[in-house]
Amino acid sequence: MGSIFGKIFRVSTFGESHGNAVGCIIDGCPSMLEITQEEIQRDLDKRRPGQNALTTQRNETDQCEILSGVFEGKTLGTPICIVVKNKDQHSQDYDEIAKCWRPSHADFTYDMKYGLRDYRGGGRSSARETIGRVAAGAVAKKFLGDNVKITAWVESVHAISMPLRKDTPTQEEIESSPVRCPHVQTSAKMEEFIKKAKAEGDSLGGVIRCRIEGLPAGLGEPVFDRFEAELAKAMLSIPASKGFEIGSGFASTRMFGSQHNDIFALDENGKPTTLTNNAGGVLGGMTTSRPVEFRVAFKPTATIAKEQKTLSRELKETTVVGKGRHDPCVLPRAVPIVEAMAALVCADTLLIQRTARI
Amino acid sequence: MGSIFGKIFRVSTFGESHGNAVGCIIDGCPSMLEITQEEIQRDLDKRRPGQNALTTQRNETDQCEILSGVFEGKTLGTPICIVVKNKDQHSQDYDEIAKCWRPSHADFTYDMKYGLRDYRGGGRSSARETIGRVAAGAVAKKFLGDNVKITAWVESVHAISMPLRKDTPTQEEIESSPVRCPHVQTSAKMEEFIKKAKAEGDSLGGVIRCRIEGLPAGLGEPVFDRFEAELAKAMLSIPASKGFEIGSGFASTRMFGSQHNDIFALDENGKPTTLTNNAGGVLGGMTTSRPVEFRVAFKPTATIAKEQKTLSRELKETTVVGKGRHDPCVLPRAVPIVEAMAALVCADTLLIQRTARI
Amino acid sequence: MGSIFGKIFRVSTFGESHGNAVGCIIDGCPSMLEITQEEIQRDLDKRRPGQNALTTQRNETDQCEILSGVFEGKTLGTPICIVVKNKDQHSQDYDEIAKCWRPSHADFTYDMKYGLRDYRGGGRSSARETIGRVAAGAVAKKFLGDNVKITAWVESVHAISMPLRKDTPTQEEIESSPVRCPHVQTSAKMEEFIKKAKAEGDSLGGVIRCRIEGLPAGLGEPVFDRFEAELAKAMLSIPASKGFEIGSGFASTRMFGSQHNDIFALDENGKPTTLTNNAGGVLGGMTTSRPVEFRVAFKPTATIAKEQKTLSRELKETTVVGKGRHDPCVLPRAVPIVEAMAALVCADTLLIQRTARI
Amino acid sequence: MGSIFGKIFRVSTFGESHGNAVGCIIDGCPSMLEITQEEIQRDLDKRRPGQNALTTQRNETDQCEILSGVFEGKTLGTPICIVVKNKDQHSQDYDEIAKCWRPSHADFTYDMKYGLRDYRGGGRSSARETIGRVAAGAVAKKFLGDNVKITAWVESVHAISMPLRKDTPTQEEIESSPVRCPHVQTSAKMEEFIKKAKAEGDSLGGVIRCRIEGLPAGLGEPVFDRFEAELAKAMLSIPASKGFEIGSGFASTRMFGSQHNDIFALDENGKPTTLTNNAGGVLGGMTTSRPVEFRVAFKPTATIAKEQKTLSRELKETTVVGKGRHDPCVLPRAVPIVEAMAALVCADTLLIQRTARI
C-alpha cells in the first residue's frame, strides 16, 4: 500500500534501486494530450545522478521508455506506463548494510514493517524511487500547459540562504547553478560548502522554495483535500523532507491579523486580486489565483562517510561507514522532484475541479 | 469532494456553521470497541466555544448524539453517525458579509469554486466544521487505547514561546491553562497578550506541538502514504494552519548529517531505539517506535474587529469590520483538533498495518 | 468499511433498523443544483413500508430532513447530509432472533465477521438501510436532469412474467400497479400470487428490469470500472439480489455472433446508432448512447412465517418462526432502490466523464 | 481512470494489444510471500493464445518479467511490477478498422469517449489487456495459499451444456479439455460446434461456472462492498461478459422462500454450516464459509469473418469483415481470467477482513 498518488490523475510507482527497473503507471491522464518520450526524458535528466561534482557518481542515463497509453504522439486516455531500466548497480557495495541499520535511514523501519528488505542501494527507500514521480510529473506538466508555471529552486543550504526573490527565477537561471540556486553569489558559497562537507565525509540539508503561477481560483477540495493539504502530503512524501509551509507559514505565527490579512482589490485588468499574498495563494483550502508559494525543508543526507555506531539486525552493537554512492546534499536533485509532485497535485485538482458545479 | 478522510477508518464530515447540524459518519471503525456518548462529548467539550474569555462567546453546548453504529455500548462495525445540532446561530450578524469577501477568509474562494456559498457564520469554512473531526477523533482515540498517548499543547503565541518541554505534559497541566500552554508563566503572558490583542480588535497566531507516544514501529505506507505525509495532510487540512514540521523539521536544514543522524542503540529493555530523535519518530515514512513529534503553525485569526478594505461580490471597493463571534486566537481550541486529526491518522495506519505481512 | 459508494459523487450511508436514524452523506455533489426536501421525500415515499397490503406493515412515514449542503434551495457543493428518524420500532419482536440465526438472513455472517450484531429488526442488514440510498439517488436524479430517464419495473414474480416491453412504461403505469408491474393483467396475477404466498407464510422472488435512457456515449471507465461493472456492483449490493445481466445477458450465450452483433447505422437525425441493442447500451465498458438495459434477480424474502430449523448462537439446534414485519416479496419496494442505485452510477460516471479529455 | 482494482491489494494494469508491452503493478501485496516468475508464467500460459485449434493463432509466448517488489524469492511489500512484451503484432491487419467501427466492438465507444483510439488489434479493448489481470491473479492465488481453491470451468457453449457438477472438477480434468469443460462428452460436442462456427465465420458464447472453496466466514463489506458485489464488478469487467449470478441466481426468482432458505445445521466437525447452499456462499454480503459459487455469461465473440454493415468514422455506410486473429469462442481462455479476477477479490477482502474487529 501507499505507492499510488492522486484521485483522478492517479500515479502508481514501482521499483527498487538495484532491481530490474523503476517507473510508473499513470491512470486517468486525459486523452488527446501530445507528449513525447523526449519531454519526459528532459525532466528525468534533471533528476538523474552524475550531473556534476555535487551529486552521486552512480552512472545512470535513466533512459525512459513509454510502454503504453501513447499512440501517434498523443495520450489515449488509457494507462501510461513509463519504465527506466536500472543499469549501474554496484550491489556489492551494500553487503555490509544487509546486516545492520544505517542511522537515520529506512533500513530499520522496512525491517520492522515488512520483516525483510532489499538492502541493495536502499531498495525502495532509495531516491531512485522518485524516477517514477518525475516521469509522471513530466506528463502532468504537459497537461498543465504553458499557462501554469511551476518553479522550484534551492533557497538555502545549511545556514547559507539567498535573499528573498520576489520575481520568479527563470529555468535558465536555476539550471545554470550546479546547486539550483538562482543567486550567483549564494550558489557559489553553497557549492563550496557542499564540497567541503563532502570532503569531510559529512552531509547537508536545506530549503527549497516552489512557486506555482497561473492556476485558476477555486482548486482544492474542502475540507480534508485542501490544496495546501494535498501539497503538504506530496512534499512530505519526498525522501528526506521534514517540513512544509505555505505562504507566510511559520512566520505567520508571529504576525498580527491586521498585518497578515491580504486585502482584496482590483488588479490592472479589473479582476479581483489581493494586495499581499501571505496566504501563499490559498484560502480555505482553495486557490485564489495568486501564486501558490511554499517551502520544503530537507534534512542532511543520512549517508555520511564518517563511522557511526549502530545496531546489527541481531541487535549487536556495530559500526557503519557510508559506502555506495550518494549525494552529500539532496537539495539540487530534489528540485525537479518538488516540481514533479507539485505538478501531480495541480493536474489532479484541476481535473477534479471540473466536477465542482452542475 | 474532499470531506472524507482515511482509507480504512474513513470519516465523512458534514455541516455548515448555521445549518441544521454538523457531524460525521465513521465507516470502517472495527467492531467490539466500547464507546459512549460521554466519551465523545468530553472531547467535544474541549473544542466547544465559550469556554473562557479567550474564545468566541457563541453559546453552543455541542451536545452530540450517536445515531448509528453503536449497540449496547459497543461498536457494531457498521457506520457510526454522530450529530451535533446547531443552536445559537445569530445569522443576522452575517448579512453584510453575504455581499463581500472578508480578507483572508474563504468567502472569495468558495464563491469562485462553487458559484455560491452559505455566508452565515462562514458556512462550511467555519471552525464548527471541525466538530465532526473531534467526534471521530474521540472514537479513534478509544480504538488506540491507553497504550497510545496523543498530547498536543500550545507552544507559542505570537513571539511568546514556552521553553522546549522534553517530558510530555499531562492533560491536567494543559487543561489548567486557558491557553492550553503547560508552562504557567508563559501561559499567563500569552493570556494577557491575547486579551490585549482582542481589546485592540486584532488577532494572533502561534504554534502547537504534538507528541504521539506508544506507537509500534512500522506504521505508515511508503512511498506516498508515509506516516508524516498523512500527518502533514491532516494538519494542513485544519482551518488556519500554515505549516507542518516533523522532528527536527526546518531546523534540520541547518545541521550536519553527523549531528542530525539518530544513532541506534539498545534501550534498558534490550530493545532497539535511537539515542536522539531528530527524526521525530519516523524514518522512510514509517514509525520507529520513538515518539512521533511534530509542530503545526496557525496564522492569526482572519476575523478582526478593525475596519479593512475589501471588494464586494460585484467587484466594488468596500470595507468590512469583523462582527459575529470569533476567537482572537485559534490556538487554544485548535489543540483538541490537532489531537483528533492525529488520532485519525494513527487509527487508519494501525488498521492498514495489519495487512503489511502475509 | 464498505458503506461508501462512488468516486466523485460519493455516498456514505448509515443506520440500523431499530437505531435512532438512518440516512446518508453525499460528498461531491456539484454546487448550484436546485433540490428540495420534497423531491427527496417523493422517492422515499415510493420505498417506504406500509404502502399497501403487499408490503410490511411497519408504520414509518420516513420523513427526511436535510441537515447540510443545501442553502436557499441550491446545493452548496459541500456534503449533503440527509437523515430519517426511525419511529415505529417494535424491538421486542426480535428478542428471539438475538439468540439464533435466521435461515438465509445475515444474522450468522454479521456474527462471524463482527462478533456481535444489532439483532433488532435485522440491524444494518435491514432493508431500512436502503433509505440512505434512495435519498442520495433522488439527489443524483435531480443532477441527471430531465434528459436522463431511469425506469425500473417488476418484470416477473416467481414464474409469472409480463411480456417483453419494448417501449418504456410511464411512471404512472408502474405506480398504478401495487406490484409495480406495468402490465395490468400480469400485475393482477402477481398481486394475487403474492397474497396467497403471504397467507401461506411463504415468500417470493422475481426480476426487475431497468432502462436508462438519454445517457451520452462514452460513460464508464475501462477496464475495471466499466459502466456495466459499476452497475453490476451497485445492483448486487442491494439486499436479496442474486443476479445481474446487461442487454442480452445470459440469453446472449445461446446466440451466434452474427445474430448478436449490433449493426451501426445512422438514425433519423443522421447520428450513429445501432439497429439492435443486444449490447444493452454498453460496448467495451462504455455507453453507446442507446438505452442501457439490465435485469436484476431477487431471491424470495428470507423471512417466512413457517417454522424452520436452525442453530442458536451457542450451536444448539432450535427452530425459528419469522415474526416482525416484513414483505412477502421485496420486488415492489426494490424498484425505487434499483432506480436509486442506477442514478448513483450515472451521476458518478457523468462527473468522471468530464475528465476524459484534455 | 478505471484501470486500478482493489482497495488494499491494488492492481493497476496497462497496455495496448500492439503497443510495446502489457502488464501490471500490484501495490499492497503483503511481504514475505514466496513467489516465482514461473508460478506467474504458469497462469499466463493458460491464458495465452495459440494453445490449440480453438483459439487465436497469434503467436505470443507471453513471457513475463518481474521488474520489482520481489527479492530473493519473496515479496518485499513494495509494488510488484510484472511486464509482458508484445511480440507478434500484425498491425497491418488492422488498417481497415482504423476508419470504421466494428459491430459490437469497443471501437465506437473509445472514439466517443477519448476522441481517438489505438485501433491496432483493438488497442486497450483487446483481450491482451487481461494479461495484467492474470499475472496479478497468480500472485493473489499464491497469497490465498492451498486452503483457498478457486476453480472455474466452461459449463455451456451456446446451447450445449454439461450436467450440473456437484463436486469440484480437478484442474487436470479441466485442462485436459481444449474447451476447459470437465465433462468429456460435452467437451467433445462443444469442440466440434466451435470448429463448425469458426468454419462458417461465426462465433459463440457460453457460461463459465466458478467455485471458491476454503474461504472463512465473514469476508466482504456491507453494504456496498459486499463480497458478491465485488465479484459481480470483477466479472462484468472482463471483456465480453454480459451477466453474473451468485448461488441460485436467476433461478432463485422462481422458488418459494421455504424452498430457497438454507437451513443452518452442524457439520460432522460440529461447526455451523447450511444444509443447502442456494446462497452461493454469501449472506448479507459476507461469506458463510460454504463454497462461493457463481456463473458468468459471455457473449459470442464480436469479431466474425462474415461481412457486416457498419459506419465509418466519417459516418459513411461501409462494410467490415473480421480479419486479424481472434477466438471464435472466448470461453476456454476466459476461464483463467475468471479465476484471476476471483483471486483478486478474495485477496483484497481477506486483507480488509483483518480490520473488522478491534
C322 — pLDDT class (breaks 50, 70, 90): confident
- Please say if the pLDDT value at position A92 is more than 80: no
- Please say if the pLDDT value at position D72 is more than 90: yes
Give me the percent of chain D exceeding a pLDDT of 90: 89
Chain A touched by B273 (CB under 8 Å) = no
Chain A touched by B232 (CB under 8 Å) = yes
From A67's Cα to the closest Cα of chain C, the distance in A is 17
- Please say if the pLDDT value at position A50 is more than 80: no
Give me the percent of chain B exceeding a pLDDT of 70: 97
CA D106 to chain centre: 18
> Which C-chain residues 315-354 have CB contacts (< 8 A) with chain D?
315, 317, 352-353
Whether residue C78 and residue B14 make contact (CB cut-off 8 A), yes or no, is: yes
C302 — pLDDT class (breaks 50, 70, 90): very high
Average pLDDT, chain C: 95
For B280-290, the pLDDT digits (tens) are 999 999 999 99
Residues 6+ apart with CB under 8 A from A286: A217, A218, A219, A220, A222, A226, A227, B106, B109, B110, B112, B113
C-D contacts (CB, under 8 Å): 389
D58 — pLDDT class (breaks 50, 70, 90): low
Q: Where are the strands (E) in chain C, listed by range?
A: 4-5, 10-14, 21-27, 64-66, 70-71, 74-75, 80-85, 149-157, 160-161, 206-213, 241-246, 264-266, 272-274, 282-283, 286-287, 292-298, 307-311, 317-321
Probe site for chain C from B14, B66, B129 (most C CB atoms < 10 A)? B14
Copy the grid coordinates of residue D203.
Answer: 462465433
- Please say if the pLDDT value at position B115 is more than 70: yes
Question: What distances in angstroms separate CA C33 from CA B104, B107, C142, D201, one per listed residue?
Answer: 28, 20, 8, 52
Chain C touched by D42 (CB under 8 Å) = no
Q: Of B30, B33, B355, which is closest to D28 when you measure between CB atoms?
A: B355
User: A250, A325, A358, A340: which is closest to A40 by C-alpha?
Assistant: A340
DSSP secondary structure letters along D175-241:
HTSTT--S-HHHHHHHHHHHHHHHHTT--B-EEEEEEEE-PPTT-SBTTTB-HHHHHHHHHHTSTTE
Q: Of C244, C256, C266, which is closest to D300 when you measure between CB atoms?
A: C256
| Chain D residues closer than 8 Å to B356 by CB | 30-31, 77
From B77's Cα to the closest Cα of chain D, the distance in A is 7
B159 — pLDDT class (breaks 50, 70, 90): very high
For position D281, what pLDDT does the model report?
98
> Which B-chain residues 1-20 have CB contacts (< 8 A) with chain D?
7-8
For position D301, what pLDDT does the model report?
96
For position B94, what pLDDT does the model report?
72
Average pLDDT, chain B: 95
From C75's Cα to the closest Cα of chain B, the distance in A is 9
C325 — pLDDT class (breaks 50, 70, 90): low
For position A280, what pLDDT does the model report?
98
- Please say if the pLDDT value at position A88 is more than 80: no
For C84-125, the pLDDT digits (tens) are 999 877 666 677 789 999 999 999 999 999 999 999 988 999
A93 — pLDDT class (breaks 50, 70, 90): low
| Chain D residues closer than 8 Å to A17 by CB | none
A58 — pLDDT class (breaks 50, 70, 90): low
Alpha helices in C102-211 (DSSP H): 107-114, 130-144, 171-175, 184-199
From CA D108, how far away is CA A275, in angstroms rounded? 51
From CA B196, how far away is CA A335, in angstroms rounded? 43
For position C58, what pLDDT does the model report?
66
User: B318, B95, B350, B308: which is closest to B218 by C-alpha?
Assistant: B350
From A30, which residue of chain C is nearest by alpha-carbon distance?
C357
For position B288, what pLDDT does the model report?
98
Chain C touched by B115 (CB under 8 Å) = yes
From CA D89, how far away is CA D58, in angstroms rounded? 8
For C128-153, the pLDDT digits (tens) are 999 999 999 999 999 999 999 999 99
Chain A touched by D118 (CB under 8 Å) = yes
CA B86 to chain centre: 20
| Chain B residues closer than 8 Å to A101 by CB | 264, 272
Whether residue C14 and residue B23 make contact (CB cut-off 8 A), yes or no, is: no
Q: Of C10, C76, C117, which is closest to B4 when you measure between CB atoms?
A: C10
Q: Calculate mean pLDDT across residues A108-119.
A: 96
Instruction: Write down the residue that cell numbers 491494488 correspond to.
Output: D10
> Which D-chain residues 85-114 have CB contacts (< 8 A) with chain C?
101, 103-106, 108-110, 112-114
Copy the grid coordinates of residue C151.
Answer: 425506469
User: A185, A134, A195, A135: which is closest to A160 by C-alpha?
Assistant: A185
Chain A touched by B300 (CB under 8 Å) = yes
Chain C touched by A309 (CB under 8 Å) = no
DSSP H helix total and E strand total for chain D? 8, 18
For B52-95, the pLDDT digits (tens) are 777 766 677 899 999 999 999 999 999 999 999 998 776 666 77
Whether residue D272 and residue C228 make contact (CB cut-off 8 A), yes or no, is: no
Give me the percent of chain B exceeding a pLDDT of 90: 89
- Please say if the pLDDT value at position B170 is more than 70: yes
Q: Calculate mean pLDDT across residues A326-330.
A: 89
Chain A touched by D223 (CB under 8 Å) = no
C55 — pLDDT class (breaks 50, 70, 90): confident
Probe site for chain D from A20, A22, A25, A128 (most D CB atoms < 10 A)? A25
From C145, which residue of chain A is nearest by alpha-carbon distance?
A358
From C241, which residue of chain D is nearest by alpha-carbon distance?
D249
| Chain A residues closer than 8 Å to B243 by CB | 243-246, 249-250, 252
For D329-346, the pLDDT digits (tens) are 999 999 999 999 999 999
Report ipTM (2 d.p.).
Answer: 0.97
User: D16, D114, D2, A141: which is closest to C356 by C-alpha?
Assistant: D114
Q: Calculate mean pLDDT across residues D173-182.
A: 97
Whether residue C250 and residue D197 make contact (CB cut-off 8 A), yes or no, is: no
Helix axes C37-47, C331-353, angle to 10 degrees: 140
For position B358, what pLDDT does the model report?
97
Contact by Cβ (8 Å): B46, B145? no
Query: Pairing state of beta strands D70-71 and C21-27?
Result: unpaired
For position B97, what pLDDT does the model report?
83
For B199-256, the pLDDT digits (tens) are 999 999 999 999 999 999 999 999 999 999 999 999 999 999 999 999 999 999 999 9
Whether residue A143 and residue C358 make contact (CB cut-off 8 A), yes or no, is: yes
- Please say if the pLDDT value at position D75 is more than 70: yes
Chain A touched by C355 (CB under 8 Å) = yes
Q: Calculate mean pLDDT across residues A57-80.
A: 92
- Please say if the pLDDT value at position A8 is more than 90: yes
